Amino acid sequence: MRRSFDIRTERRLQVVDVTDEVEAALPREYDGVCTVFSKHTTTGVCVNEAESRLLGDIESMLAEAVPDDGWAHDELDGNADSHLRAALASSSVVLPVSDGALDLGRWQSVLLVECDGPRSRTVEVR
């Protein structure tokens, strides 16, 4: 199993619920695990609640934890903060699947963490 989908982000730092897109990429009646993987060094993937205020809090936390400038990598392309924020979020998650659906907890969602948008991003489900 290897499928992908694209997500268009709207802001430089944005957390997007991609749970529905991940589930749509799963084969019907599949049981096991899947890996959700971001193919970009300035995005991350995590599991958390997709409540709008919490999504904003995650964005604020990342912005406060990693200042926008003052990094050595900025001399190359000016987006070191994006790489550092994405490193905090991780590039993948492994999730249980039952009967072709994610087997998540009641409040859990799959979140794409955009750190260098707006951009079009590719997420793989394997």
Judge whether residue 1 has pLDDT over 90.
no
- From residue 45, how far is each of 70, 73, 75 by CA, in Å? 25, 22, 27
Q: Measured in whole angstroms, how far is the alpha carbon of residue 53 from the centre of its chain?
A: 17
User: Residue 58: pLDDT band by 50, 70, 90 thresholds?
Assistant: very high
CATH 3.40.720.10 describes domain 3-125? no
Which of 1-5's residues contact partners 24+ apart within 8 Å by CB, and which partners?
A: 1/26, 1/27, 1/30, 1/34, 1/125, 1/126, 2/124, 2/125, 2/126, 3/124, 3/125, 3/126, 4/39, 4/122, 4/123, 4/124, 4/125, 5/122, 5/123, 5/125
Encode pLDDT of 89-122 as tens digits: 999 999 999 999 999 999 999 999 999 999 999 9
Is residue 21 within a helix (H) or strand (E), and if so which, with residue range?
helix 19-25
Domain residue spans of the chain: 3-125
Judge whether residue 44 has pLDDT over 90.
yes
Q: What is the mean pLDDT of residues 51-79?
A: 96
Phi first, then psi: what are they for 5, rounded to 5°?
-145, 160
What was the pLDDT predicted at 12? 97
Judge whether residue 78 has pLDDT over 90.
yes
Q: What is the pTM of this model?
A: 0.95
What was the pLDDT predicted at 35? 98
Judge whether residue 42 has pLDDT over 90.
yes
| Arithmetic mean of pLDDT over the chain | 97
